[in-house]
Amino acid sequence: MLARCWGYTALCIWALLNPLVAESQEYQSQYRYCYLEVDGEVFLDGDCYIGFYDVSPSKINFDEAGRNISELYVDGSGESKWNGGLGFKLSKSLGVLRQDGDKCWRSNRARVCIQSYADKFESIAHSNSESQKIDKDSEEWQKYQESLRAAQLEREQRAAEEEERRQQRLAAEETERKRLAEEDAKRQARAVQQRREVEKQQLADAEAKRQRLADYAVVLDADTDLYLYSALQLKDLASKRGQTIFIEEVYVFFVQDESWINGGNLTIVNDDSLGSVGRVTCVLSPEDGDNFMEKPHKGIYSISGVLDQFSRRSGIKIFPCKAELRAG
């Protein structure tokens, strides 16, 4: 309420007391029932329009059937002046207007009432006075009915507009829902396709590895597998001396380079701290030794070659041997 009448100082005094006055800011062209009395003389008692002007102090214009009959100024404290109802300058002070009843305000000189026809007829309908019976043939009653029809039409129009906005909002929400559903379906389809591609690649890698290792007589996933071998498995391993061997992961721990420095082979050895049965000794040719020494000396390598020797005490010796770095 206060925000609506902020620019109308005079009206704010009344709007805080009577919502009808604030309403008339937005519907200035509607009929009102007005009463204006100054020093005991009634200047207006009947139909009127009310105009509001954003000036300081604020002005309220009472207009009867297109004839300006009075202009009233009210400042922020309620102090009022008027033009005498004859277009004179606004020099006549009416004092401070204070609320007098539900729709009226009074000062020591004046009384002002502003009432909608709806309020007027409602008050008559609740009156027991015979003189206050509603005359449904009167112009006032017709205007009242006309205002009711206009209000109903406005409510229907607002309801239709609200329903249209609601339908638009629902349509927008449905469009957004479909868009999100389509995006989610696309994401799921991409995820399924990616899983299939990964699985396909894994199968291809497994098949390539199987084919690549098919020619080796001995295949170990890691050098640590040797610590898990039973006596029969170790015996079978020893029986395959002179055949090819492949170990997927061997952690090379140190290098024996005395022979390589003098032009001979380079020997690399894994970490056999868990026991000599798991020791892997790989003897590289001088050329492979040169390549190896360009890489980190310690790291995980794939080792392949010929199983030259095996025993519990010395572990596996592979010669000739090749080493391919897998991870540092």
Q: Which residues share a beta bridge with 306?
A: 244
Summarize pLDDT for 117-155 with one digit per residue, the tens: 666 655 555 555 444 555 667 776 777 778 778 878 888
Summarize pLDDT for 205-235 with one digit per residue, the tens: 889 888 888 889 999 999 888 889 999 999 9
Q: What percent of the chain has pLDDT over 90?
A: 40
Nearest by Cα to 111 from 58, 24, 41: 41
Q: Which residues share a beta bridge with 254?
A: 269
CA dist list (Å): 1 to 95, 190, 266: 25, 56, 95
Summarize pLDDT for 246-282 with one digit per residue, the tens: 999 999 999 999 999 999 999 999 988 888 889 999 9
User: CB pairs under 8 A, 24+ apart, for 192-195?
Assistant: none
Residue 19 has pLDDT above 60, yes or no: no
pTM: 0.42
